[in-house]
Chains A and B, each alone.
Chain A
Amino acid sequence: MSDAAILRVEDLRVGFATPEGLVQAVDGVSWAVAPGRTLGIVGESGSGKTVAAMTAMGLTRGRRTRVSGRVLLDGEDLLSAPPERLRALRGDALAMVFQDPLSALHPLLRVGDQIAEAVRAHRAGVSRAAARARAVELLEHVAMPDAARRVDAYPHELSGGMRQRAMIAMALANEPRVLIADEPTTALDVTVQKQILELLRRLRDELGMAMVLITHDLGVVAETADEVAVMYAGRIVEQAPAAELFAAPQHPYTWGLLRSMPRLDAEAGAELVPIPGRPPSLIHPPSGCRFHPRCAYVRERHREVDPPLAPLAGAGAADTGHRVACLLSETERRAIWARLAQGAARRRSWPASSSSSSASRSRAACCCAGGSARWRRSTA
């Protein structure tokens, strides 16, 4: 990911001046993404994942914003680029898909016109007719059902999934080199989410785009991303190739996220292990390790020393790209994770026999005229 990167964020800091103090939303974040690859950025609200991406797009500029660091698109620094240069890049080389297509699409314009506008804004010579033809082509490309007709639809006439397809079509209008997708499927039903994620993966591969996928959903990241960065309180606390992150997570916050999510393959009655407390203030972040107030493995020293994001030292000599910001030693972390994972695996295994729940109690109903079917209470 390092040398081939098309978009590179280096030591980015973004603060917002408020009457209560400076909210340091992003505090020294670096990531990079290469063509044809997907970087997943995971975190909870307020972790800074969206602010970092919006800043890369030049969308957080303002009197009260304090920004430092570098954002390099193919070597060109976007943070110091003049507004007109950014306008030329946005929607062209650099595009974004937002979470809520209903508020990101113009409610009074037909989706086809909005897509055509994105084309014509960056391609001066394109005629209206050609731009419209391109809009239909783009809608077909994102598998919009009945694209030739839907090009004339208003956003409110489309379902949530179709709106998201329209927004993706708009983002793709000029074949961007980098696509930033901020929670692109969070507002959608699971079956639609699956289609949209498949669409994004296909487009990434076909167009060789670099994709930054921002999400709170570890499952979405696991299925879509090549690399993952886990953010907490404005920092990246762990970064690794996706398979490596899920197989051998190193940061207690990552463990916490994994253990607090209900799983489809969990054993019945398995308890979740919530992360205690809540995300910290970004005006007065905790001293030392920012996760220490919520960490089960905190030591006295962790309250004072701020851990840097550093490559794993032990295990294989080769650099896997796995980095973690944690003061526990790698040996300790591996031992803790081995214990946690074994516990989880035990909880996950199915009970050997399960004849107690007989099939007669279940029914797959296609007609519901059944009146009052009742079940006896099985056990007290």
Chain B
Amino acid sequence: MLLRRRLGEVAAVDGVSLSVLEGESLGIVGETGSGKSTLARMLLNLLEPTSGVVRWRGEDVTHARGARLAELRRARQLVFQDPAGSLNPRKTVGAALADPFLIHGLLPERAARARRVGELLEQVGLDAALANRYPHELSGGMRQRVGIARAIALGPELLVADEPVSALDVSIQAQILTLLRQLRRELGLTLVLIAHDLAVVRHMCDRVAVMRGGRLVEVAPVEQLYRAPQADYTRELLAAVPRIPSPSPPGAPGGAQSSPSSST
């Protein structure tokens, strides 16, 4: 697809062509205003491009409506950055997770829905009994697990996660990233991960697209992008990430006394 979206006079995404391959994990990185979230929303028919085409399995779905759009929604889901803002505070977790089925007219029987909700909670590492709780009773990490459970409820093929861990504490981020990797393996999901954190993308993705000012700067397999970045901007981004000195076992060559700057 070749996509443009103009917001007023600003081209938020300007002539981007990008394919997501089945089964892959594609990272989209960029700084504030690079257009990465706008691009993701266009992929999911949540925004219409000003010009350009979005294809899903070869079919032009740019202007899909009605029943076709509902099918597309089922196949492609979004995980939001802020689980507190994306869950209705007045609905229990169980009700929030039952909604996708009600909206799509699936599992009409209450008992079947409740069973499926319980399965979903367990699938994301939560206790099925949490169905009766409200979002404010959960921690940030638990809420994000609920957000992920809701996104996988209808068995999507494509999951787009927009900064899924940037609002979480360090120790919880690793839990959520590990969960996403595990679900991807178990469910054969294709993942588009939008992030500003280059280390997170490095950990999660097969291929990476770097965006700046609404344009694609570089697209490359992850190893290649991190080891031999082609674009100046990619190099600049990578150089700006603060490095944690490598852990070295005491007594190992270049070990305990190595200065922070000499490592990596």
Contact = CB atoms under 8 A, between A and B. Distances in A.
Partners in one complex: yes
Interface of A: 44-45, 160, 189-194, 197, 216-220, 222-223, 242-244, 246-249, 256-258, 260-266, 268, 270-276, 278-279, 334, 337-338, 340-342, 344-345, 348, 350, 354, 357, 359, 361-365, 368-375, 377
B170 A268 contact: no
B241 interface: yes
A260 B249 contact: no
A261 B174 contact: yes
Interface in B208-244: 215-227, 230-231, 234, 236-244
19 contacts: A44-B170, A216-B170, A222-B245, A223-B242, A243-B258, A247-B245, A249-B247, A261-B174, A262-B202, A264-B199, A266-B202, A278-B139, A278-B171, A340-B247, A341-B247, A357-B221, A361-B221, A374-B19, A375-B21
B187 interface: no
A365 B171 contact: no
A363 B218 contact: yes
Given A368-B15, A368-B215, A258 B202 contact: no
Closest 9 CB pairs of A and B: A219-B242, A362-B220, A260-B174, A364-B230, A274-B174, A262-B203, A189-B31, A275-B171, A341-B247
Given A191-B236, A194-B240, A242-B260, A275 B174 contact: yes
A193 B237 CA distance: 11
A368 B1 CA distance: 11
B244 A246 contact: yes
Nearest to A258: B247
Nearest to B14: A368
Contacts of B252: 341-342, 345
Contact of B242 (A45, A217, A244, A276): A217
Contact of A265 (B222, B246, B251): B246
Given A190-B31, A354-B227, A361-B224, 16 more contacts: A189-B31, A190-B198, A191-B31, A191-B240, A247-B248, A264-B202, A265-B264, A279-B171, A341-B249, A344-B246, A345-B252, A354-B223, A362-B225, A364-B231, A368-B17, A377-B22
A377 B199 CA distance: 24
A45 B168 CA distance: 9
Given A275-B174, A371-B17, A365 B217 contact: yes
Contact of B247 (A194, A274, A345, A370): A345
Contact of B248 (A216, A256, A341, A365): A341
B200 interface: yes
A344 B174 CA distance: 16
B223 A268 contact: yes
Nearest to A223: B242
B241 A219 contact: yes
Given A218-B244, A337-B250, A341-B249, A260 B171 contact: yes
B247 A362 contact: no
Interface of B: 1-2, 14-17, 19, 21-24, 31-32, 139, 141, 169-175, 177-178, 196-200, 202-204, 215-227, 230-231, 234, 236-252, 255-260, 264
Instruction: Tell me what chain B mostly uses at the interface: helix, strand, loop, or mixed.
Output: mixed
Contacts of B241: 190, 219, 264
Q: Which of B23, B225, B240 has the most CB of A within 10 A?
A: B240
Contact of A372 (B19, B171, B230): B19
A44 B174 CA distance: 13
A377 B217 CA distance: 22
A193 B240 contact: yes
Contacts of B204: 262
A257 B171 contact: yes
A191 B24 CA distance: 28
A222 B231 contact: no
B245 A246 contact: yes
A257 B224 CA distance: 27
A41 B21 CA distance: 43
A359 B244 contact: no
B135 to A, nearest CB: 16
Contacts of A243: 245, 257-260
A220 to B, nearest CB: 5
B202 to A, nearest CB: 6
Contacts of B169: 44-45, 216, 279
Contact of B32 (A189, A265, A362): A189
A217 to B, nearest CB: 7
Contact of B196 (A189, A260, A337, A348): A189
B244 A365 contact: no
B250 A338 contact: yes
Contacts of B32: 160, 189
B224 to A, nearest CB: 5
Nearest to A45: B169
A354 B227 CA distance: 11
Contacts of B171: 44, 256-257, 260, 274-275, 278-279
A368 B139 CA distance: 42
B240 A361 contact: no
A247 B258 contact: yes
A222 B260 contact: yes
B237 A357 contact: no
Contacts of A278: 139, 141, 171-172
A223 B260 contact: yes
B244 A263 contact: yes
Contacts of B249: 337-338, 341-342, 345
A328 to B, nearest CB: 15
Given A337-B250, A341-B248, A370-B17, A365 B216 contact: yes
